[in-house]
Amino acid sequence: MDEEEPDAFLDELIRKSTRSENFEDVVLPVPDQNSISLRAEGLVKRYKKRSVVKAIDLEVRPGEIVGLLGPNGAGKTTSFYMIVGMIRPSGGKVFLGDQEITKLPMFERARKGIGYLAQEASIFAQLSVEDNLHSVLEYQSLSKSERNTRVEELIEEFRLERVRRSKGYMLSGGERRRTEIARALATRPAFFLLDEPFAGVDPIAVEDIQSIVAGLKRRGIGVLITDHNVHETLAITDRAYLLYEGAILKQGTAQSLATDPEVRRRYLGENFTLERYL
C-alpha cells in the first residue's frame, strides 16, 4: 500500500456473486438493493497529532462504478480501508442505506452485502480453483447440489474451466484475479470494493477485469475502486473522488476530472489522455 499503516488488518475471507463467459451477459439475479447506497460522512483519521484524512464524504450507489484516486500519501488507502472496515475512523460515520456500520468488522459488513477484493493474493495457494470456490460456499445456507451448481456457474462465467483443477500458486496474474473475483462474488453482494484490481496483471488481463467490472455495473452492483493505475480506473468509472493531502480536491465524472486544469496540474499531468472503456 502507498501510505499509512492501518491500525489492524482483519484477515477475513470475504467473497461474493457472478458473471458470464464473455463477461457481458447477466446470468444470476441482480441484488434487490436498488434504494440502498454505501456512503461515508465526515470520515477522519488521525495518527497521534497528524490528520491523514480530513472529513471526507463519498457515496456509491447501486449500479455505478466510483473511483477513489490520489497521489501517494493523499489518504486514499486509509479512506478506502475505513470504508472496508480494516481501519477504525477517528471521526465520521459509514452507512449502508440508513444503517450505520462504522463499528462493524469486515465479516459483518460482508454478511450485509459488501464484498471486498484485496490487493494481495487472497486465494488459497495449495487449493485448486474449484476448491477455492467451494471454500467460500461451504459457509452459505446451500445444499451440496446447490453449491456444486454455483461453482459450475462461476467457473463457466469467469472462463476458469481450463484451470479449474490447477492449484492457486500455478495461476497467472489474470487467472488468479478472475478466481479471486469469482470467489468474492459467490454470495451475491450489493456492493463490491476493489483494492488495486489492476496490480500485477498483464494488459490482456486488465481488459478482462475492466469487462468484469462493467458487468457488475449492469447487474446493479455498486463498485468502489482504488488503484494507482489511473488510466485503467478512469476508463471504467462513472464518477471519481480525487484526494489530495487528506481531503477531497475534486469529484466528478471521469471526463470532467480528466479536463480539469487543477487535477491535471496536481495529479494527472498535462499530457494525460482519457480513453473510456465503457
Domain coordinates of the chain in residue numbers?
38-268
Mean pLDDT of all residues in 225-236: 93
Per-residue pLDDT for 15 more than 80? no
Say whether domain 38-268 belongs to CATH 3.40.50.720. Answer: no
Euclidean distance between CA atoms 148 and 144, whole angstroms: 6
Per-residue pLDDT for 5 more than 60? no
| Alpha-helix residue ranges (DSSP H) falling in 15-171 | 76-84, 106-111, 129-137, 144-157
In the chain, the amino acid numbered 28 is L
In degrees and rounded to multiples of 5, residue 180 shows phi and psi of -65, -40
Q: 247: Cβ–Cβ under 8 A, 6 or more apart, which residues?
A: 54, 55, 56, 75
| Alpha-helix residue ranges (DSSP H) falling in 73-220 | 76-84, 106-111, 129-137, 144-157, 173-184, 203-218
Confidence of residue 123 (pLDDT cuts 50, 70, 90): confident
In the chain, the amino acid numbered 13 is L
**pLDDT tens per residue, range 29-68:** 444 445 689 999 999 999 988 999 999 999 999 999 999 9
**Cut 0.95: pTM above it:** no
Euclidean distance between CA atoms 238 and 25, whole angstroms: 20
Confidence of residue 143 (pLDDT cuts 50, 70, 90): confident
Q: What count of Cα atoms within 13 Å lies in the side-chain half-sphere of residue 120?
A: 8
